[in-house]
Structure 1
Amino acid sequence: MPRVLYIDDDEGLRLLTSRRLRRLGFTVETAADADSGVARLSEGGFDLVAIDHYMPGKTGLDALAMIGALASPPPVVYVTGSEETSVAVAALKAGATDYVVKTVGDDFFDLLASSFRQSLERRALLAAKEEAEQALRASNERLAAMVKEANHRVANSLQILSAFVNLQASAVGSDEAKSALRDTQQRIAAIAQVHRRLYNSDVVDTIDMAEYLLQLSKELEATWSTPKSPRTVDFTAEPMRLKTDRAVSLGIIVTELVGNACKYAYGEDQAGVVRIRLVKEMSRFHLRVEDDGPGVDLGAKPKGTGVGTRLIRAMAQSLGAELEYGGGPGARICVTAAL
């Protein structure tokens, strides 16, 4: 049976209310004024409290404010006279869950019991809602932590794989094999960097492309530059975010295009610049990679293995992107796709 505290200065009404509400399924205790009632509430154990408005010393509104200051206040049903609508509204604004007009007769006790049940049901629903939300937040936090840990492990595994490829490259004698393994290492690095960023970010489903491609550009510049043939990668981008899989596809495209420009646009003893521009237009993005070399001859036989070209086309297809090639002087490749 719900335990209710009824606060009213009318001793006869307190006694009558206590008896009648017991018959209606409530355990009722009473208090004669605001101070004694709030003191009993502070001891805990009550599921609900009903307060009369007019009491000596402190009114029901005063008691309502005192109850609201408790650590875990129970729901409050406010009892007013028939002509005191403004008082009832003030009580509801102050935190009361319901109000009942005090009348003579059995209807008052039936209405009071009904209001008690509704207030308790509302409190139970709110408690269940809060519990469900807390469980959902905890589940989301666990899931986010698992995803971050997975990204951390993937990034570490890719780093180990990159080290193995590097060891293999140092062991082979063929320049063609060394070049192919170096290309593979760059592709691995492009993917690994996505997972490193996901691990270090609070957002686990999208990537900040400006930051990602800027760091990737720096790594590509360091990889392809030598003292005799320095390569500069000039990168600018507008802020945008892409889903993780789309970020990986675009990162591989950038890796291949920059690698091709660094290998084929400039001579071995020649400095060179590769320009990368990423812009957003409405719901689409445009990536442009340019160099100052002789340009692209689409009909010519590939200078390398052709794997890079096939990768670019495959990644563009996964993005649903359009590829455009501009001829010399200088090569210009544009990738356009939806965000």
Structure 2
Amino acid sequence: MSRAPDRSTAGRKRDHIRALGQDAGIERGGTGFDTIRLTHRALPELDLDKIDTRTTFLGKELSFPLIISSMTGGEDAAIARINRNLAQAAEATGVAMAVGSQRVMFDRPAARASFAIREFAPHVPLVANIGAVQLNAGLGAAECRAAIDVLEADGLYLHLNPLQEAVQPEGDRDFSGLIGAVAALAPQLPVPVLFKEVGAGLSGADIRAGLEAGIRHFDVAGRGGTSWSRIEYHRRAEEDDDLGLVFQDWGLTTVEALEEARAALGPDRAETTLIASGGIRNGIDMVKALVLGADLCGIAAPLLAEAQESCDCVIRKIQRIRREFQTAMFLLGCADCTALRGNAALVRQD
């Protein structure tokens, strides 16, 4: 390798952003959305400008069903600026936002400031983020509450990333007994816990295990977008270690994960929130995700370059995605998000 990876938690954040900017192959494609065909209505019988894209998430209204997915956090000024730009854009456009893993703030206290974003987004849902495997590495309810408090968060992502940890040179690989640890943790926290994969998809078995542990919010984060396995390949300790490439396309596609989640939730569906993420790149993908049963959608990578530039760039990107989403609703004859969700009649059957 031309550059040795930084083994510190903060260094990993820098390495991740650097890899995303240098390797276009990290964006994998193949979410499954291209196989979903929807029924165009030539007579939608709607006024495009009056279509209602609003929804709610964690008790707060969103302008349309979007959450800015977890990206980063750390002590670097550039990373803090990314989170600030994202938070300001979330507030301006009325969408939710989740931060990247907050483990770094326990290793490097100076990193806390990059997560203190509530002042920039006073009204929209914010979601804190801790790796679930850290419950086996010394983090507990106190640290989770600290992660929630610094954001004044409305929820806490416990992200599930066994593939990334397996490939990562300094990865934490003991995922044993985690579901019991989660079941014990969740009642101790002041906000809901959400399960989130990071690009390999939640299976039906994962959803059922989460339900048994008291989890009611799930972000499937399927295969087809950013490959964290390939990102970690760039941080390999040995030049001939190709594990990250071998597993770069491992997992359930976002469409497969949504289908499994819908089946697993069954009668519990009305009491749960299902988030689609993993390769969602435009408003049409979002509409397809809702038709497949999602309540809202997460997007990260398409906003990173804009977030490195300015808040206004992020706002413009989100506004374009919302226009795409609303236009697709119009062309399907759907006046609001309720008309989209789980509406199998909108899917063309070959």
**TM-score normalised by the chain length of structure 1:** 0.23
**Bigger fraction of residues in helix:** 1
- Which of the pair has more CA radius of gyration? 1
Larger RCO (CA within 8 A; separation ≥ 6): 2
